[in-house]
Amino acid sequence: MAVNKTITVFGATGAQGGAVAQIFLQDPKLKSEWTVRAVTRDTTKESARKLASQGAEVISANLNDKSTLVKAMTEATVVYGVTNYWETMDKQVEFQQGKNLVDAAKEAGVEHFIWSSLLNIAKLSNGKLPNIYHFDGKAEVEEYARETGIPATFFLPGFYMSNIPGGAFRPSPPNNAWTFGLPVPDTAPLPLFDTADTGKFVKGIVLCRDKLLGKRIFGATAYLTGKEVVEGFKSAFPVAGKTATYFSMPQDMYLGVLKSIGMPDFAAQELLENMLLLDQFGYYGGAKLDESHAILEDKLTTWDEYIKKAEAFQGLN
The CATH number that applies at residue 126 is: 3.40.50.720
Of residues 276 and 173, more confidence is placed in 276
Q: How far apart are CA 11 and CA 22, in angstroms?
A: 12
* Mean local confidence (pLDDT), 124-131: 98
Instruction: Classify residue 68: in a domain, yes or no.
Output: yes
Range of the domain at 67: 5-158+194-220+286-298
- What pLDDT score was predicted for residue 1? 44
Where b means 16+ CB within 10 Å and e means fewer, 213-240 reads eeebbbbbbbbbbbebbbbbbbebbeeb
pTM of the model: 0.97
pLDDT grade, residue 34 (50/70/90)?
very high
Radius of gyration of the CA atoms of the chain, in A: 20
Integer Cα distance of 201 and 250 in angstroms: 35
Q: Do 179 and 169 contact (CB within 8 A), yes or no?
A: yes
Q: What is the distance between the alpha carbons of residues 205 and 214, in angstroms, rounded to a whole number?
A: 11
Angle at alpha carbon of residue 14, lines to 62 and 10, rounded to 5°: 40
According to DSSP, the residues that pair with 201 across neighbouring strands are none
Please check whether residue 230 is in contact with residue 245, taking contact to mean a CB–CB distance below 8 angstroms.
yes
Confidence category of residue 3, pLDDT binned at 50, 70, 90: low
Domain assignment of residue 35, yes or no: yes
Q: What is the pLDDT of residues 192-226, one digit of tens each?
A: 999 999 999 999 999 999 999 999 999 999 999 99
181 within a domain of the structure (yes/no): no
DSSP letter (8 states) at residue 45: S
Number of domains making up the chain: 1
